[in-house]
Chains A and B, each alone.
Chain A
Amino acid sequence: GESVGLHLPTLSVQEGDNSIINCAYSNSASDYFIWYKQESGKGPQFIIDIRSNMDKRQGQRVTVLLNKTVKHLSLQIAATQPGDSAVYFCAERFFNKFYFGSGTKLNVKP
């Protein structure tokens, strides 16, 4: 099967700083990518997505960057807040199937 991996299992940032969460994906034919946020005891929540024909997409306080050359995806969170503390997953879509990474836990220190 396909594999999606993350470079760091945990990330600690100071409140107000910017956060960057990285993800490596394995299949160059994947056409769609999503970042999810999962809080303890809850299901994943959609944050932002990007299609393979794009390099960058911005949302409210979040930006996703896609580098197809090195098969790398990143999520940037601006002015990180305590409410951003959660586990973040990237997922790639390959022929109707989504493959998730193992997640990065983001800790926001007050």
Chain B
Amino acid sequence: NAGVTQTPKFRVLKTGQSMTLLCAQDMNHEYMYWYRQDPGMGLRLIHYSVGEGTTAKGEVPDGYNVSRLKKQNFLLGLESAAPSQTSVYFCASSSVRGQIYEQYFGPGTRLTVT
């Protein structure tokens, strides 16, 4: 049981390049989330999904796209990377037990855009 895994752990991009971050969870959770964390700040929600085939915008969705083709995977795409997207990206998943939404986080992906 690996929990939430993220690929890759580190990446350096040049401005304008594209990439996809992969999040996988093996806990059969319905909900999945993508956050970014900038230095000295809390996490900000980029996009989230409440089930396979569904996605929704979070607090800071511009410049990102997501897909949830399989329940266990949640992909975050950057079509044209910008230096402002330099950040640490965290994926999380959660089940819904009643009204409890405990989120399990992955180890993060550190992205640098030059």
Residues on A with beta carbons closer than 8 Å to the beta carbon of B99 = 31-32, 51
The stretch of B14-22, B36-44, B63-71, B76-84 in contact with A is: B36-44
How many Å from the CB of B88 to the closest CB on chain A?
Answer: 9
A89 at the interface (CB under 8 A from B): yes
Smallest Cβ-Cβ distance to A5: which chain B residue: B42
Q: Contact: B59 with A97, CB < 8 Å?
A: yes
A34 and B103 in contact (CB under 8 A), knowing A97-B48, A97-B58, A98-B33? yes
How many Å from the CB of A69 to the closest CB on chain B?
Answer: 21
Nearest 4 CB-CB pairings of A with B: A43-B105, A100-B42, A100-B43, A102-B42
User: How far is B92's CA from A45's CA once the two chains are assembled, in angstroms?
Assistant: 11
Give the size category of B's interface with A.
Answer: 20 to 34
Question: 8 Å CB contacts to A: which residues of B1-51?
Answer: 4, 33, 35, 40-45, 48, 50
Give chain A's interface residues, CB within 8 Å of chain B. 1-2, 4, 31-32, 34, 41-46, 49, 51, 89, 91, 93, 96-103
Most buried by A among B42, B43, B45, B56: B42
SS class, residues of chain A in contact with chain B: strand
Residues on B with beta carbons closer than 8 Å to the beta carbon of A1 = 59
Residues on A with beta carbons closer than 8 Å to the beta carbon of B33 = 98
Smallest Cβ-Cβ distance to B43: which chain A residue: A100
A96 and B103 in contact (CB under 8 A), knowing A44-B90, A103-B41, A103-B42? no
User: How far is B41's CA from A63's CA once the two chains are assembled, in angstroms?
Assistant: 24
Residues on A with beta carbons closer than 8 Å to the beta carbon of B107 = 42-43
Q: Contact: A4 with B48, CB < 8 Å?
A: no
Residues on A with beta carbons closer than 8 Å to the beta carbon of B40 = 102-103
